[in-house]
Amino acid sequence: MTTPPPGTTSSASFTFDLDAEEVWLAEDPTASRRPVLLSQGAYGPRVGLPAVLGLLRAHGVRATFFVPGRVAETYPAAVESVLEAGHEVAHHGHTHRAPAELSLDEEVDEFERGLAALRHVGVVPTGYRAPSWDFSPHTLGLVADHGFDYSSNFMDEVRPYVHPSRDVVELPVHWTLDDAAHYWFAADTWTKKISTNGEVEQIMVAEADGIAAMHGCAVYTLHPQIIGRPGRLPLLDELLRRAASDPSVWVATAAEIAAHTRKQES
């Protein structure tokens, strides 16, 4: 549905970053020699993604998947399965290197290579999410100059808006609705505990309910390699059930919400 149904007062979008192995490869190039480490990412397209797609289908929810170009090259069948299920595929860089850590030439190369890889598998993306939500001073300009309709990276609002300096809609995000913030385990430090589903559900539901009370948009940022673990799928099931069964919440893709925002502000 491209417009909010009558009676809805807020919106929600379930977005998934299909990062696969690229997170570890971006942080440490030597990770390419560590197959067990990389297997954590391979779980995403191989096991987590089909499980996530099954839950989305069961609840009748269309989602947005942000995909790095190199993941599209490595796992084209995974991207095809997302498209065949009727979901949106959007741009998430080429590798998972954060734009703020790159020179301008490197950033342009990453952006355009990722875009080309998505187009090669039949995707014409209209939205962009930077790896790690980390813009450089040039990123928003690149997004606008390449004709993208929306960004989903900033944390300065709870309602979608149009960037005043660029004709780009922003769908704000936050760590509270990101599964990685709660579940990520850092083997190099062994200091970050893995949260329980009960803890994560309490945090996410409180944030989503608060955003709804402010007539905003709850943008869930989830990862098939994280939320797609067997013990966490029941939490995703519950989050989808709550959103899809609430008549006051419009559940839509990021592109649909961005298009409606632009229409409202024009």
Map out the domains of the chain as residue ranges: 10-265
Q: Of the candidates 97, 101, 114, 90, which has an alpha carbon nearest to the alpha carbon of residue 219?
A: 90
pLDDT at 26 over 90: no
Query: Whose CA is closest to 109, among 120, 99, 124, 123?
Result: 99
Residue 1: predicted pLDDT: 62
Stated pTM of the model = 0.96
pLDDT of residue 187: 65
Helix (H, G, I), strand (E, B) or coil at 29: helix
Per the structure block, which two tokens stand in for 172?
Answer: 């704000």
pLDDT in tens, 57-114: 999 999 999 999 999 999 999 999 999 999 999 999 999 999 999 999 999 999 999 9
pLDDT of amino acid 2: 76
For residue 133, give the amino acid letter.
W
Question: Does pLDDT of 243 surpass 70?
Answer: yes
Task: With CA atoms as reference, report the closest residue to 164 among 140, 186, 145, 183.
Answer: 140
Q: Which among 239, 171, 254, 232 is positioned nearest to 203, based on CA atoms?
A: 239
CA distance 185 to 190: 7
The pair phi, psi for residue 11, each rounded to 5°, is: -135, 165
Mean of the pLDDT values across residues 19-34? 89
- What are the helix (H) ranges across 44-134? 49-59, 69-74, 76-84, 104-120
pLDDT band, very low/low/confident/very high, at 29 (cuts 50, 70, 90): confident
pLDDT of residue 4: 93
Cα distances from 143 to residues 15, 112, 238, in angstroms, run: 19, 10, 34
CB atoms within 10 A of CB 262: 16
Across residues 198-204, what is the average pLDDT?
98
| Tokens found for residue 190 | 């062994």
CA distance 207 to 173: 11
* pLDDT(190) > 90: no
Band of residue 188 on the pLDDT scale cut at 50, 70, 90: low
CATH topology of domain 10-265: TIM Barrel (3.20.20)
Q: How far is 5 from 214, CA to CA, in rounded Å?
A: 18
Distance CA 74, CA 45 (A): 10
Query: Is 166's pLDDT higher than 80?
Result: yes
Over the chain, what is the mean pLDDT? Answer: 95
pLDDT in tens, 107-164: 999 999 999 999 999 999 999 999 999 999 999 999 999 999 999 999 999 999 999 9
Give the helix/strand (H/E) hosting 74.
helix 69-74
